[in-house]
Amino acid sequence: MSMAPDMAVIIRLPTRTLFEGRAAYLGGVAPDGAFGLLPNHVDFVTAIVPSVLTLRMSDGTDEIFGLDEGLLVKKGHKVAVVVLRGVRGDDLVTLQDTVAASFIQMDEEERQARAALSRLEADMVRRFAELKGPFS
């Protein structure tokens, strides 16, 4: 593997790509603690816990993300992060509010979807119970 000044990073949610770009450093949190990755780090796979993921861009600026649980895979100079939920933040102060508002909305949408599914299942069971028996 050749030496590289940066790595390609992609952060994916189930429905869209949250971030795609090049970074010189990635910092995250795994179940066993915090970690950091540089472009020439050995290949690496880990689970991600709900936490803040930071990227140091090639131009020296920082990007921060509030992430839910997921998986990170680094292979060569490419890093893929797949998480259930995530938001991009401007700074650590506002990130907490953004995460809270976004995740609460997602939780409410998931609750409504589960309630609708439960009603459909109950209706299907009721209809099966109304069947009189085998056809003659």
Can you list the pairs that 25-32 forms with residues at least 24 positions away whose Cβ atoms lie under 8 Å?
25/54, 25/55, 25/56, 26/53, 26/54, 26/55, 26/56, 26/79, 27/53, 27/54, 27/55, 28/53, 28/54, 28/67, 28/72, 28/81, 29/53, 30/72
Number of domains in the chain: 1
Per-residue pLDDT at 1 = 53
Q: For the chain, state the CA radius of gyration.
A: 21
Whether residue 90 is contained in a domain is answered as: yes
User: Which CATH number fits the domain that encloses residue 12?
Assistant: 2.60.15.10
Per-residue pLDDT tens over the stretch 18-55: 999 999 999 999 999 999 999 999 999 999 998 889 99
- Give the N- to C-terminal CA distance of the chain in Å, as an integer: 72
Whether residue 94 is contained in a domain is answered as: yes
Side chain identity at residue 127, one-letter code: R
**pLDDT range class, residue 115, cuts 50, 70, 90:** confident
Whether residue 73 is contained in a domain is answered as: yes
Helices vs. strands in the chain: H and E counts, helices first:
1, 9
Whether residue 136 is contained in a domain is answered as: no
What is the chain's mean pLDDT, rounded?
Answer: 87
Whether residue 10 is contained in a domain is answered as: yes
Element (H, E) at 74: strand 70-75
Whether residue 28 is contained in a domain is answered as: yes
Calpha distance 110→97 (Å, rounded):
20
- pTM (2 decimals)? 0.71
Give the domain extent around 120.
Answer: 1-131
Other residues' Cβ atoms within 10 Å of the Cβ of residue 99: 20
